[in-house]
Chain A
Amino acid sequence: MSEEELARKLRRAAHLILFQHHRYPGAKGWELRKVVGRDYMKVIKLLREKLSDLGLDIKIVSEEGEDIASLSEMQLDKARFYVVSKHPLTFSEAALAGWRLDSLAVLAVTISFIASRHGKAPKKEVEKMLSEKFPEWKVSVELDRFIKKGYLSEDEEEVLYLGWRTKAEVDLKALLENIAGGQTS
Protein backbone atom coordinates (compact mmCIF):
# COMPACT_ATOMS: atom_id res chain seq x y z
CA MET A 1 0.00 0.00 0.00
CA SER A 2 1.53 3.31 -1.08
CA GLU A 3 1.81 6.21 1.35
CA GLU A 4 -0.69 8.20 -0.67
CA GLU A 5 -3.22 5.38 -0.59
CA LEU A 6 -2.73 4.89 3.13
CA ALA A 7 -3.25 8.61 3.76
CA ARG A 8 -6.46 8.49 1.70
CA LYS A 9 -7.73 5.46 3.66
CA LEU A 10 -6.91 7.16 6.96
CA ARG A 11 -8.87 10.24 5.92
CA ARG A 12 -11.88 8.19 4.82
CA ALA A 13 -11.88 6.12 8.02
CA ALA A 14 -11.59 9.26 10.19
CA HIS A 15 -14.46 10.96 8.33
CA LEU A 16 -16.65 7.89 8.55
CA ILE A 17 -16.20 7.58 12.30
CA LEU A 18 -16.22 11.27 13.21
CA PHE A 19 -19.00 12.60 10.99
CA GLN A 20 -22.38 11.42 12.18
CA HIS A 21 -24.20 9.94 9.21
CA HIS A 22 -26.84 7.85 11.01
CA ARG A 23 -28.98 8.27 14.07
CA TYR A 24 -26.00 7.19 16.15
CA PRO A 25 -22.43 8.48 15.90
CA GLY A 26 -19.52 6.28 14.86
CA ALA A 27 -19.40 3.63 12.16
CA LYS A 28 -20.02 -0.09 11.95
CA GLY A 29 -17.21 -2.50 11.06
CA TRP A 30 -18.84 -3.51 7.79
CA GLU A 31 -19.14 0.15 6.77
CA LEU A 32 -15.43 0.65 7.37
CA ARG A 33 -14.63 -2.52 5.41
CA LYS A 34 -16.76 -1.28 2.53
CA VAL A 35 -15.19 2.18 2.43
CA VAL A 36 -11.60 1.49 3.54
CA GLY A 37 -11.11 -2.10 2.41
CA ARG A 38 -10.57 -5.55 3.91
CA ASP A 39 -7.49 -4.41 5.83
CA TYR A 40 -9.45 -1.73 7.67
CA MET A 41 -8.28 -2.89 11.10
CA LYS A 42 -4.69 -2.01 10.15
CA VAL A 43 -5.91 1.46 9.14
CA ILE A 44 -7.81 1.75 12.42
CA LYS A 45 -4.65 0.87 14.34
CA LEU A 46 -2.76 3.62 12.55
CA LEU A 47 -5.60 6.09 13.01
CA ARG A 48 -5.66 5.29 16.73
CA GLU A 49 -1.97 6.22 16.97
CA LYS A 50 -2.56 9.51 15.19
CA LEU A 51 -5.61 10.35 17.31
CA SER A 52 -3.66 9.52 20.46
CA ASP A 53 -1.53 12.62 19.88
CA LEU A 54 -4.71 14.67 20.06
CA GLY A 55 -5.91 13.02 23.30
CA LEU A 56 -8.44 10.87 21.47
CA ASP A 57 -8.92 7.13 21.16
CA ILE A 58 -10.98 4.66 19.13
CA LYS A 59 -13.37 2.50 21.09
CA ILE A 60 -14.86 -0.66 19.62
CA VAL A 61 -18.15 -1.74 21.13
CA SER A 62 -19.63 -5.13 20.24
CA GLU A 63 -23.20 -5.52 19.01
CA GLU A 64 -24.21 -6.56 22.55
CA GLY A 65 -22.77 -3.31 23.86
CA GLU A 66 -19.67 -4.79 25.43
CA ASP A 67 -16.22 -3.31 25.21
CA ILE A 68 -14.18 -6.38 24.31
CA ALA A 69 -10.48 -6.20 23.50
CA SER A 70 -10.41 -8.99 20.93
CA LEU A 71 -13.28 -9.62 18.59
CA SER A 72 -13.59 -12.10 15.73
CA GLU A 73 -13.87 -10.79 12.16
CA MET A 74 -17.60 -11.41 12.19
CA GLN A 75 -18.04 -9.66 15.54
CA LEU A 76 -15.96 -6.73 14.28
CA ASP A 77 -18.23 -6.36 11.27
CA LYS A 78 -21.21 -5.84 13.57
CA ALA A 79 -19.33 -3.82 16.19
CA ARG A 80 -19.49 -0.01 16.28
CA PHE A 81 -16.35 2.12 16.18
CA TYR A 82 -16.37 5.40 18.07
CA VAL A 83 -13.82 8.15 18.63
CA VAL A 84 -13.73 8.88 22.36
CA SER A 85 -11.72 11.08 24.67
CA LYS A 86 -8.58 9.21 25.73
CA HIS A 87 -8.33 10.82 29.14
CA PRO A 88 -10.94 11.64 31.76
CA LEU A 89 -12.43 15.10 31.49
CA THR A 90 -11.85 17.64 34.23
CA PHE A 91 -14.73 19.60 35.75
CA SER A 92 -13.90 22.65 33.65
CA GLU A 93 -13.69 20.59 30.44
CA ALA A 94 -17.06 18.98 31.20
CA ALA A 95 -18.50 22.43 31.94
CA LEU A 96 -17.18 23.68 28.59
CA ALA A 97 -19.07 20.81 26.93
CA GLY A 98 -22.25 22.03 28.64
CA TRP A 99 -22.33 19.69 31.65
CA ARG A 100 -23.32 20.96 35.07
CA LEU A 101 -22.08 19.38 38.29
CA ASP A 102 -25.65 18.38 39.22
CA SER A 103 -26.23 16.66 35.89
CA LEU A 104 -23.02 14.65 36.21
CA ALA A 105 -23.99 13.62 39.75
CA VAL A 106 -27.51 12.57 38.65
CA LEU A 107 -26.05 10.54 35.80
CA ALA A 108 -23.48 8.93 38.11
CA VAL A 109 -26.18 7.86 40.59
CA THR A 110 -28.53 6.61 37.87
CA ILE A 111 -25.95 4.57 35.98
CA SER A 112 -24.41 3.07 39.15
CA PHE A 113 -27.84 2.23 40.53
CA ILE A 114 -28.92 0.46 37.33
CA ALA A 115 -25.55 -1.23 36.73
CA SER A 116 -25.54 -2.67 40.27
CA ARG A 117 -28.95 -4.21 39.53
CA HIS A 118 -27.72 -6.12 36.48
CA GLY A 119 -28.53 -3.39 33.99
CA LYS A 120 -32.17 -2.60 34.71
CA ALA A 121 -34.22 -0.94 37.43
CA PRO A 122 -37.81 0.36 37.76
CA LYS A 123 -37.93 4.09 37.00
CA LYS A 124 -39.83 4.76 40.23
CA GLU A 125 -37.00 3.27 42.31
CA VAL A 126 -34.41 5.37 40.46
CA GLU A 127 -36.53 8.50 40.96
CA LYS A 128 -36.97 7.72 44.66
CA MET A 129 -33.21 7.29 45.06
CA LEU A 130 -32.44 10.53 43.20
CA SER A 131 -35.14 12.49 45.04
CA GLU A 132 -33.15 12.10 48.27
CA LYS A 133 -30.55 14.51 46.89
CA PHE A 134 -32.24 16.42 44.07
CA PRO A 135 -35.61 18.17 43.63
CA GLU A 136 -38.26 16.02 41.90
CA TRP A 137 -38.66 18.37 38.93
CA LYS A 138 -34.93 18.20 38.26
CA VAL A 139 -34.91 14.40 38.50
CA SER A 140 -37.69 14.16 35.94
CA VAL A 141 -36.07 16.65 33.53
CA GLU A 142 -32.63 15.04 33.79
CA LEU A 143 -33.92 11.48 33.31
CA ASP A 144 -35.83 12.54 30.20
CA ARG A 145 -32.71 14.28 28.88
CA PHE A 146 -30.55 11.20 29.47
CA ILE A 147 -33.08 8.99 27.71
CA LYS A 148 -33.07 11.35 24.71
CA LYS A 149 -29.27 11.43 24.64
CA GLY A 150 -29.05 7.64 24.72
CA TYR A 151 -27.50 7.23 28.17
CA LEU A 152 -30.66 5.42 29.30
CA SER A 153 -33.52 3.63 27.65
CA GLU A 154 -37.00 2.98 28.96
CA ASP A 155 -39.54 0.29 28.11
CA GLU A 156 -43.35 0.41 28.21
CA GLU A 157 -43.40 -0.86 31.79
CA GLU A 158 -41.32 2.12 32.94
CA VAL A 159 -38.18 0.09 33.53
CA LEU A 160 -34.89 1.89 32.89
CA TYR A 161 -31.96 0.24 31.12
CA LEU A 162 -28.45 1.40 30.28
CA GLY A 163 -28.52 3.05 26.86
CA TRP A 164 -26.14 2.68 23.90
CA ARG A 165 -24.23 5.83 24.87
CA THR A 166 -23.50 4.58 28.39
CA LYS A 167 -22.12 1.36 26.89
CA ALA A 168 -19.96 3.39 24.51
CA GLU A 169 -18.76 6.06 26.92
CA VAL A 170 -18.76 4.75 30.48
CA ASP A 171 -16.39 2.19 31.97
CA LEU A 172 -18.97 0.57 34.24
CA LYS A 173 -16.46 -1.50 36.17
CA ALA A 174 -14.39 1.58 36.94
CA LEU A 175 -17.49 3.55 37.93
CA LEU A 176 -18.73 0.86 40.33
CA GLU A 177 -15.24 0.50 41.70
CA ASN A 178 -15.05 4.26 42.26
CA ILE A 179 -18.43 4.29 43.97
CA ALA A 180 -18.13 1.10 46.02
CA GLY A 181 -14.49 1.64 46.86
CA GLY A 182 -15.19 5.23 47.75
CA GLN A 183 -12.25 6.39 45.63
CA THR A 184 -13.54 9.80 45.01
CA SER A 185 -10.74 12.04 46.07
Chain B
Amino acid sequence: MNCELAHEHIVAAAYGELPDDQVHQLERHVIACPECQKEREQILALRVLADAHPVIEPDPNLVARAHLRLDDALDMLPPRRWFEVLGQRIVNNFASLQSAPVAAVLLLMAGAGAGTLGGFEYAQNRAAHAATVAQAGSPSGNSVLPASAAPSPSDVAGISSIVRHPNSEIVDVSYNQVVPRKIEGSLDDPGIRQLLMMASEDSTSPGVRDDSVALLAAECRAGHSCQPSGIRDALMYALRNDRSPKVRQKALQGLEPYVADDVRVRDAVLEAVMNDNDPAVRTAAISLLEPVDADTSVQQVLYSVSNSDRNPQIRYVSRQVLSRVPETQ
Protein backbone atom coordinates (compact mmCIF):
# COMPACT_ATOMS: atom_id res chain seq x y z
CA MET B 1 0.00 0.00 0.00
CA ASN B 2 1.40 3.38 -0.96
CA CYS B 3 0.89 6.53 1.10
CA GLU B 4 -1.52 8.16 -1.37
CA LEU B 5 -3.90 5.22 -1.15
CA ALA B 6 -3.33 5.05 2.59
CA HIS B 7 -4.43 8.68 2.95
CA GLU B 8 -7.70 7.91 1.17
CA HIS B 9 -8.19 4.86 3.35
CA ILE B 10 -7.51 6.87 6.48
CA VAL B 11 -10.45 9.18 5.66
CA ALA B 12 -12.68 6.24 4.84
CA ALA B 13 -11.65 4.46 8.04
CA ALA B 14 -12.20 7.57 10.13
CA TYR B 15 -15.81 7.54 8.95
CA GLY B 16 -16.23 3.77 9.33
CA GLU B 17 -16.37 3.16 5.59
CA LEU B 18 -13.31 0.93 5.17
CA PRO B 19 -13.80 -2.84 4.88
CA ASP B 20 -12.21 -4.90 7.67
CA ASP B 21 -9.53 -6.50 5.51
CA GLN B 22 -8.35 -3.11 4.29
CA VAL B 23 -8.40 -1.79 7.85
CA HIS B 24 -5.80 -4.38 8.82
CA GLN B 25 -3.65 -3.54 5.79
CA LEU B 26 -3.91 0.14 6.63
CA GLU B 27 -3.05 -0.50 10.24
CA ARG B 28 0.12 -2.35 9.26
CA HIS B 29 1.09 0.45 6.91
CA VAL B 30 0.41 3.23 9.42
CA ILE B 31 2.48 1.55 12.12
CA ALA B 32 5.46 1.58 9.80
CA CYS B 33 4.85 5.02 8.20
CA PRO B 34 5.24 8.17 10.32
CA GLU B 35 3.76 10.37 7.59
CA CYS B 36 0.56 8.37 7.50
CA GLN B 37 0.41 8.38 11.29
CA LYS B 38 0.48 12.16 11.07
CA GLU B 39 -2.20 12.09 8.36
CA ARG B 40 -4.45 9.98 10.52
CA GLU B 41 -4.05 12.25 13.51
CA GLN B 42 -4.91 15.27 11.40
CA ILE B 43 -8.05 13.66 10.00
CA LEU B 44 -9.25 12.79 13.47
CA ALA B 45 -8.45 16.31 14.60
CA LEU B 46 -10.48 17.68 11.71
CA ARG B 47 -13.40 15.61 12.82
CA VAL B 48 -13.20 17.07 16.29
CA LEU B 49 -12.92 20.58 14.95
CA ALA B 50 -15.78 20.20 12.52
CA ASP B 51 -18.02 19.51 15.48
CA ALA B 52 -17.46 23.07 16.61
CA HIS B 53 -20.08 23.89 13.96
CA PRO B 54 -22.71 21.62 15.39
CA VAL B 55 -25.97 20.45 13.91
CA ILE B 56 -28.77 21.94 15.92
CA GLU B 57 -32.32 20.74 16.21
CA PRO B 58 -34.72 23.07 14.41
CA ASP B 59 -36.72 25.33 16.62
CA PRO B 60 -40.22 23.89 17.26
CA ASN B 61 -41.70 27.19 16.16
CA LEU B 62 -39.82 26.90 12.87
CA VAL B 63 -41.12 23.37 12.39
CA ALA B 64 -44.70 24.37 13.17
CA ARG B 65 -44.49 27.43 10.93
CA ALA B 66 -43.03 25.45 8.02
CA HIS B 67 -45.69 22.76 8.44
CA LEU B 68 -48.54 25.25 8.43
CA ARG B 69 -47.13 26.94 5.36
CA LEU B 70 -46.88 23.58 3.62
CA ASP B 71 -50.46 22.73 4.55
CA ASP B 72 -51.65 26.00 3.04
CA ALA B 73 -49.68 25.37 -0.12
CA LEU B 74 -51.07 21.83 -0.41
CA ASP B 75 -54.59 23.15 0.07
CA MET B 76 -54.04 25.53 -2.80
CA LEU B 77 -53.09 22.73 -5.17
CA PRO B 78 -55.94 21.76 -7.49
CA PRO B 79 -57.12 18.17 -7.08
CA ARG B 80 -55.67 15.79 -9.58
CA ARG B 81 -57.97 15.03 -12.50
CA TRP B 82 -58.83 11.55 -13.63
CA PHE B 83 -56.69 11.73 -16.77
CA GLU B 84 -53.72 12.88 -14.70
CA VAL B 85 -54.13 9.86 -12.44
CA LEU B 86 -54.49 7.63 -15.50
CA GLY B 87 -51.43 9.14 -17.14
CA GLN B 88 -49.48 8.66 -13.94
CA ARG B 89 -50.44 5.00 -13.83
CA ILE B 90 -49.45 4.48 -17.45
CA VAL B 91 -46.11 6.16 -16.86
CA ASN B 92 -45.56 4.06 -13.74
CA ASN B 93 -46.40 0.87 -15.57
CA PHE B 94 -44.06 1.79 -18.36
CA ALA B 95 -41.40 2.65 -15.83
CA SER B 96 -41.92 -0.71 -14.14
CA LEU B 97 -41.39 -2.36 -17.49
CA GLN B 98 -38.23 -0.36 -17.95
CA SER B 99 -37.07 -1.33 -14.53
CA ALA B 100 -37.37 -4.99 -15.48
CA PRO B 101 -35.99 -5.05 -18.99
CA VAL B 102 -34.95 -8.68 -18.88
CA ALA B 103 -38.39 -9.80 -17.77
CA ALA B 104 -39.99 -7.59 -20.39
CA VAL B 105 -37.77 -8.94 -23.14
CA LEU B 106 -38.41 -12.52 -22.04
CA LEU B 107 -42.14 -11.86 -21.98
CA LEU B 108 -42.02 -10.35 -25.43
CA MET B 109 -39.93 -13.23 -26.76
CA ALA B 110 -42.29 -15.80 -25.24
CA GLY B 111 -45.29 -14.00 -26.72
CA ALA B 112 -43.66 -13.71 -30.13
CA GLY B 113 -42.62 -17.37 -30.03
CA ALA B 114 -46.09 -18.53 -29.05
CA GLY B 115 -47.62 -16.33 -31.74
CA THR B 116 -45.28 -17.66 -34.41
CA LEU B 117 -45.87 -21.26 -33.37
CA GLY B 118 -49.63 -20.74 -33.29
CA GLY B 119 -49.55 -19.09 -36.72
CA PHE B 120 -47.42 -21.91 -38.09
CA GLU B 121 -49.80 -24.55 -36.72
CA TYR B 122 -52.80 -22.69 -38.09
CA ALA B 123 -51.19 -22.34 -41.51
CA GLN B 124 -50.30 -26.03 -41.54
CA ASN B 125 -53.85 -27.03 -40.66
CA ARG B 126 -55.21 -24.75 -43.34
CA ALA B 127 -52.86 -26.19 -45.91
CA ALA B 128 -53.78 -29.75 -44.93
CA HIS B 129 -57.47 -28.90 -45.11
CA ALA B 130 -57.07 -27.26 -48.50
CA ALA B 131 -55.22 -30.31 -49.77
CA THR B 132 -57.99 -32.60 -48.53
CA VAL B 133 -60.63 -30.50 -50.24
CA ALA B 134 -58.65 -30.44 -53.44
CA GLN B 135 -58.24 -34.20 -53.30
CA ALA B 136 -61.90 -34.75 -52.60
CA GLY B 137 -62.77 -32.71 -55.62
CA SER B 138 -64.89 -29.70 -56.19
CA PRO B 139 -68.67 -29.72 -55.47
CA SER B 140 -69.37 -29.95 -59.19
CA GLY B 141 -67.97 -33.46 -59.11
CA ASN B 142 -65.07 -33.22 -61.52
CA SER B 143 -62.93 -35.52 -59.40
CA VAL B 144 -64.12 -39.08 -59.02
CA LEU B 145 -62.63 -41.60 -56.61
CA PRO B 146 -62.21 -45.24 -57.53
CA ALA B 147 -64.52 -47.73 -55.95
CA SER B 148 -61.71 -49.05 -53.79
CA ALA B 149 -61.78 -45.69 -52.00
CA ALA B 150 -65.34 -46.21 -50.88
CA PRO B 151 -65.84 -44.85 -47.36
CA SER B 152 -67.09 -46.83 -44.45
CA PRO B 153 -70.82 -46.37 -43.87
CA SER B 154 -70.25 -44.37 -40.72
CA ASP B 155 -68.35 -41.77 -42.73
CA VAL B 156 -71.24 -41.14 -45.09
CA ALA B 157 -73.73 -38.45 -44.16
CA GLY B 158 -76.06 -39.27 -47.00
CA ILE B 159 -76.28 -40.27 -50.67
CA SER B 160 -76.95 -37.35 -52.96
CA SER B 161 -77.24 -38.99 -56.40
CA ILE B 162 -76.75 -42.19 -58.33
CA VAL B 163 -76.12 -42.29 -62.04
CA ARG B 164 -75.60 -45.36 -64.13
CA HIS B 165 -73.41 -45.15 -67.14
CA PRO B 166 -75.37 -46.04 -70.27
CA ASN B 167 -75.00 -49.63 -71.39
CA SER B 168 -72.53 -50.49 -68.68
CA GLU B 169 -72.20 -51.79 -65.22
CA ILE B 170 -70.70 -48.58 -64.02
CA VAL B 171 -72.58 -46.25 -61.71
CA ASP B 172 -71.66 -43.02 -60.10
CA VAL B 173 -72.78 -42.75 -56.50
CA SER B 174 -72.55 -39.34 -54.96
CA TYR B 175 -72.61 -39.31 -51.22
CA ASN B 176 -72.07 -36.64 -48.62
CA GLN B 177 -69.42 -36.48 -46.04
CA VAL B 178 -68.23 -33.36 -44.34
CA VAL B 179 -66.81 -32.76 -47.79
CA PRO B 180 -68.91 -34.13 -50.61
CA ARG B 181 -67.16 -36.87 -52.55
CA LYS B 182 -67.85 -39.08 -55.48
CA ILE B 183 -66.64 -42.55 -56.22
CA GLU B 184 -66.91 -44.63 -59.32
CA GLY B 185 -67.08 -48.36 -59.58
CA SER B 186 -68.85 -51.44 -60.81
CA LEU B 187 -72.20 -52.47 -59.43
CA ASP B 188 -70.54 -55.67 -58.40
CA ASP B 189 -68.09 -53.77 -56.24
CA PRO B 190 -68.87 -54.30 -52.57
CA GLY B 191 -68.21 -50.62 -51.78
CA ILE B 192 -70.61 -49.43 -54.43
CA ARG B 193 -73.18 -51.92 -53.31
CA GLN B 194 -72.78 -50.80 -49.75
CA LEU B 195 -73.48 -47.25 -50.81
CA LEU B 196 -76.45 -48.31 -52.86
CA MET B 197 -77.89 -50.18 -49.92
CA MET B 198 -77.45 -47.10 -47.79
CA ALA B 199 -79.07 -45.02 -50.46
CA SER B 200 -82.07 -47.34 -50.45
CA GLU B 201 -82.74 -46.30 -46.86
CA ASP B 202 -82.15 -42.61 -47.40
CA SER B 203 -85.38 -41.10 -46.18
CA THR B 204 -84.49 -37.58 -47.29
CA SER B 205 -84.20 -38.17 -51.01
CA PRO B 206 -86.90 -40.24 -52.83
CA GLY B 207 -85.00 -39.99 -56.10
CA VAL B 208 -81.90 -41.54 -54.61
CA ARG B 209 -83.93 -44.34 -53.06
CA ASP B 210 -85.65 -44.97 -56.35
CA ASP B 211 -82.37 -45.12 -58.25
CA SER B 212 -80.60 -47.27 -55.73
CA VAL B 213 -83.45 -49.77 -55.35
CA ALA B 214 -83.85 -49.96 -59.12
CA LEU B 215 -80.17 -50.73 -59.53
CA LEU B 216 -80.12 -53.24 -56.73
CA ALA B 217 -83.22 -54.90 -58.14
CA ALA B 218 -81.68 -55.07 -61.58
CA GLU B 219 -78.61 -56.68 -60.10
CA CYS B 220 -80.73 -59.30 -58.41
CA ARG B 221 -82.75 -59.95 -61.51
CA ALA B 222 -79.53 -60.30 -63.48
CA GLY B 223 -78.36 -62.83 -60.93
CA HIS B 224 -75.25 -60.86 -59.94
CA SER B 225 -74.48 -62.35 -56.57
CA CYS B 226 -77.52 -61.05 -54.77
CA GLN B 227 -76.67 -62.51 -51.40
CA PRO B 228 -79.49 -63.14 -48.91
CA SER B 229 -77.99 -60.95 -46.25
CA GLY B 230 -76.99 -58.00 -48.44
CA ILE B 231 -78.96 -56.61 -51.35
CA ARG B 232 -81.91 -58.89 -50.70
CA ASP B 233 -82.35 -57.46 -47.23
CA ALA B 234 -82.17 -53.97 -48.60
CA LEU B 235 -84.85 -54.71 -51.15
CA MET B 236 -87.09 -56.31 -48.52
CA TYR B 237 -86.62 -53.28 -46.34
CA ALA B 238 -87.58 -51.04 -49.23
CA LEU B 239 -90.63 -53.16 -49.97
CA ARG B 240 -91.81 -53.00 -46.40
CA ASN B 241 -90.95 -49.42 -45.54
CA ASP B 242 -90.42 -47.18 -48.51
CA ARG B 243 -93.03 -44.48 -48.87
CA SER B 244 -92.87 -44.44 -52.65
CA PRO B 245 -94.96 -47.11 -54.45
CA LYS B 246 -92.62 -46.84 -57.38
CA VAL B 247 -89.69 -47.81 -55.20
CA ARG B 248 -91.61 -50.65 -53.62
CA GLN B 249 -92.55 -51.97 -57.05
CA LYS B 250 -88.92 -51.91 -58.11
CA ALA B 251 -88.00 -53.71 -54.92
CA LEU B 252 -90.57 -56.36 -55.77
CA GLN B 253 -89.04 -56.77 -59.20
CA GLY B 254 -85.67 -57.26 -57.62
CA LEU B 255 -87.02 -59.88 -55.22
CA GLU B 256 -88.87 -61.85 -57.85
CA PRO B 257 -86.14 -64.44 -58.53
CA TYR B 258 -86.02 -65.35 -54.84
CA VAL B 259 -89.70 -65.75 -54.00
CA ALA B 260 -89.58 -69.40 -54.72
CA ASP B 261 -86.48 -70.23 -52.74
CA ASP B 262 -86.29 -67.72 -49.94
CA VAL B 263 -89.05 -67.93 -47.36
CA ARG B 264 -88.14 -64.55 -45.95
CA VAL B 265 -88.64 -62.99 -49.38
CA ARG B 266 -91.92 -64.79 -49.72
CA ASP B 267 -93.08 -63.48 -46.35
CA ALA B 268 -92.15 -59.98 -47.35
CA VAL B 269 -94.14 -60.32 -50.56
CA LEU B 270 -97.13 -61.75 -48.64
CA GLU B 271 -96.98 -58.80 -46.27
CA ALA B 272 -97.06 -56.53 -49.27
CA VAL B 273 -100.10 -58.37 -50.62
CA MET B 274 -101.95 -57.94 -47.39
CA ASN B 275 -100.78 -54.58 -46.16
CA ASP B 276 -99.46 -52.43 -48.96
CA ASN B 277 -101.65 -49.45 -49.54
CA ASP B 278 -100.96 -49.25 -53.23
CA PRO B 279 -103.07 -51.57 -55.44
CA ALA B 280 -100.45 -51.72 -58.17
CA VAL B 281 -97.86 -52.94 -55.69
CA ARG B 282 -100.22 -55.50 -54.28
CA THR B 283 -101.20 -56.68 -57.75
CA ALA B 284 -97.57 -57.05 -58.67
CA ALA B 285 -96.92 -58.89 -55.42
CA ILE B 286 -99.78 -61.30 -56.09
CA SER B 287 -98.45 -62.02 -59.53
CA LEU B 288 -95.09 -62.84 -57.97
CA LEU B 289 -96.69 -65.50 -55.84
CA GLU B 290 -97.94 -67.60 -58.74
CA PRO B 291 -94.88 -69.88 -58.77
CA VAL B 292 -95.36 -70.66 -55.10
CA ASP B 293 -99.14 -70.83 -54.86
CA ALA B 294 -98.87 -74.37 -53.58
CA ASP B 295 -97.51 -72.97 -50.33
CA THR B 296 -100.34 -73.11 -47.81
CA SER B 297 -99.48 -69.79 -46.28
CA VAL B 298 -99.62 -68.25 -49.74
CA GLN B 299 -102.94 -69.88 -50.41
CA GLN B 300 -104.34 -68.64 -47.12
CA VAL B 301 -103.29 -65.14 -47.92
CA LEU B 302 -104.71 -65.35 -51.40
CA TYR B 303 -108.00 -66.75 -50.09
CA SER B 304 -108.22 -64.11 -47.54
CA VAL B 305 -107.54 -61.39 -50.02
CA SER B 306 -109.85 -62.80 -52.68
CA ASN B 307 -112.72 -62.95 -50.22
CA SER B 308 -112.40 -59.89 -48.13
CA ASP B 309 -110.26 -57.29 -49.82
CA ARG B 310 -112.02 -54.02 -50.46
CA ASN B 311 -110.37 -53.60 -53.81
CA PRO B 312 -112.24 -55.59 -56.52
CA GLN B 313 -109.18 -55.62 -58.72
CA ILE B 314 -107.17 -57.27 -55.97
CA ARG B 315 -109.90 -59.77 -55.29
CA TYR B 316 -110.06 -60.57 -58.99
CA VAL B 317 -106.35 -61.06 -59.45
CA SER B 318 -106.04 -63.22 -56.38
CA ARG B 319 -108.96 -65.39 -57.48
CA GLN B 320 -107.32 -65.84 -60.80
CA VAL B 321 -104.15 -67.02 -59.18
CA LEU B 322 -106.07 -69.36 -56.90
CA SER B 323 -108.06 -70.71 -59.82
CA ARG B 324 -104.89 -71.92 -61.39
CA VAL B 325 -103.81 -73.81 -58.33
CA PRO B 326 -105.72 -77.09 -59.00
CA GLU B 327 -104.54 -77.02 -62.52
CA THR B 328 -101.00 -76.77 -61.52
CA GLN B 329 -101.50 -79.33 -58.81
A binds B: no
Residues of A within 8 A of B (CB): none
- Mark B residues whose CB is within 8 Å of A: none
